[in-house]
Amino acid sequence: AQSVTQLDSQVPVFEEAPVELRCNYSSSVSVYLFWYVQYPNQGLQLLLKYLSGSTLVKGINGFEAEFNKSQTSFHLRKPSVHISDTAEYFCAVRGLSGGYNKLIFGAGTRLAVHP
């Protein structure tokens, strides 16, 4: 089975400041890792994903994340945030094996960008 822990339920930050949203996972099998963003009353939008290869992955809207296998982490970063980045961010893990191919979400981190 897999699980995802998002260490911060809320992250307040000022506009143009850098931000890091933390995510740790556990799994008995190899996994794919994802970050999604959800704006109020909307579905999910994929920000980025790690499947294999380079541990630093770049996504949309200037976000990037680094996969660290030894620390089982997949933290999301952005060097300079905008007001429009205010949203809920979900880290998710999906096992590679057939019996573990469910997408499991973390509890979410509310990013609040202030002017």
Partner 1 sequence: GAVVSQHPSRVICKSGTSVKIECRSLDFQATTMFWYRQFPKQSLMLMATSNEGSKATYEQGVEKDKFLINHASLTLSTLTVTSAHPEDSSFYICSAQPPAPVRGPNEKLFFGSGTQLSVL
Instruction: Please name every residue paired with 12 in a beta bridge, in sequence order, or none if there are none.
Output: 112
In the complex with partner 1, which residue's Cβ is closer, 98 or 115?
98
Q: Check binding of 108 to partner 1 (CB under 8 A).
A: yes
For partner 1, how many residues bind (rule: CB under 8 A)?
20
Angstrom distance (rounded) from CA 73 to CA 85: 22
Distance in Å, CB of 50 to partner 1, minimum: 10
| Binding residue (CB under 8 A) for partner 1 from 13, 22, 94, 100 | 94
Q: According to the binding rule CB under 8 A, does residue 100 interact with partner 1?
A: no
Instruction: Look at the block and give the residue holding tokens 């573990």.
Output: 100
- Placement of tokens 């790690």 in the chain: 50
> Hey, what are 104's tokens?
């499991």
7 binds partner 1 (CB under 8 A): no
Contacts 24+ apart (CB under 8 A), 5-8: 5/106, 5/107, 6/90, 6/91, 6/106, 6/107, 6/108, 6/109, 8/109
Site membership for partner 1, residue 105 (CB under 8 A): yes
Hey, which residues between 24 and 83 contact partner 1 (CB under 8 A)?
32, 41-44, 49, 51-52
Site residues for partner 1 per CB under 8 A: 32, 41-44, 49, 51-52, 90, 94, 96, 101-108, 110
